[in-house]
Structure 1
Amino acid sequence: MKISETVDYPASPDEVFAMLTDERFQARKCEEVGSLSHDVAVSQNGGGTRVVTKRDLPTQDLPDFAKSLIGPRLTITETYEWAAANGDGTRTGDLIVELGGAPVSLRAKLGLAPSGAGTRMSVDGDLKASVPLIGGKIEKTAAPAIIDGIRSEGAVGRSWLAGER
């Protein structure tokens, strides 16, 4: 299932990138969605940056068939691999979101580019559930949560950039 979202931020690409790679921002993003626990690691690799965020979420709001596959906690691991910036701050990257305990993952291309008076982050990828017969049903159930997560990150980011840290 295709996932395509954009998030607009009222800051330069360099400011947005600094925020997205700040461990405190990543921790706040996890807290805002009600994570039971979380870990964040940011590292440099060559000219790029890797951000790995792992969080545990309760599953009480998931459909029964999903809870039976996952259990009482859903572990989500996000891995962002950002390339070095171009001269105008434009960046590309890759995102992998894995749902522990479930055969579901998102693999997406990222873009960070100037847009108007700010920056637009784009996420374009494929959500896959590798379960015979019910994979499509699982993808349709998981897609809104993935999209909500992207939008929530945008809201937390706009607050962060406004000084609400």
Structure 2
Amino acid sequence: MRLSVEQSLPVRPDELMELMSDEEFVVYRASVESTTVEGSVVDPASDGSLTITLRRTMPATQIPAQVRAFVGSRLEVRHVEVWEPPQPGRWFGTVAVEITGTPVRMSGTVSLAEAPEGCTVTYDGTVTASIPLFGAAVEEAAVATLRTVLDAEEGRVRAWLAGSR
């Protein structure tokens, strides 16, 4: 199932990438409601590339009830973004999200570009759930959950930029 989320942020792209190299910012951004960040690694390289790895837990309430028995009451989610070295005015990367211990994955791209009011971050990918009979329902729930989390992260970035963290 396809997932596409666009975030418009009031910050220059190079400033946002600098923030994303700061582990405190990354953890703050990822600490959305009902989510606990269990671990994070921010690994900037000398060529300007950047790898961000997050491990967090969240309630399984968005997962269909008939599948929840297989995953438990909390989900452990691993989120990895690998950003390539910057190109003039643009940054590109890959993103992978997996629910540990389940056959549910999201893989795709992430991009950052200049915009009139700051920058635009775009996540574009595919969510798959290799679960017989319930795969489509789980994919739909996973897409909705990822969209909610990414929207909440946009709010956290805006709060950080406004100094109200």
- Greater mean deviation of Cα atoms: 17-26 or 29-38: 29-38
Distance 1:22 1:33 in 2: 21
**Does structure 1 residue 69 correspond to structure 2 residue 74?**
no
Report the alpha carbon displacement of residue 102 of structure 1 after superposing the two structures with TM.
2.0
Alpha-carbon distance change, 136 to 46 in structure 1, aligned in 2, over 3 angstroms: farther
Distance 1:3 1:37 in 2: 23
CA contact (8 A) 2:10 2:119 kept: yes
- Greater mean deviation of Cα atoms: 64-73 or 97-106: 64-73
Distance 1:6 1:40 in 2: 23
**Does structure 1 residue 78 correspond to structure 2 residue 116?**
no
- Greater mean deviation of Cα atoms: 126-135 or 104-113: 126-135
Unaligned 5+ segments in structure 2 are none
The total of aligned residue pairs comes to 164
Distance 1:45 1:145 in 2: 31
CA contact (8 A) 1:36 1:58 kept: no
Task: Name the amino acid aligned to 2:156.
Answer: V
1:9 corresponding residue in structure 2: 9
Unaligned 5+ segments in structure 1 are none
Alpha-carbon distance change, 45 to 65 in structure 1, aligned in 2, over 3 angstroms: farther
Report the alpha carbon displacement of residue 130 of structure 1 after superposing the two structures with TM.
1.1
TM-score, L = length of structure 1: 0.91
CA contact (8 A) 1:82 1:93 kept: yes
Alpha-carbon distance change, 156 to 36 in structure 1, aligned in 2, over 3 angstroms: closer
Q: Determine what percentage of the aligned residue pairs are the same residue.
A: 26
Aligned-partner SS, 1:32: coil
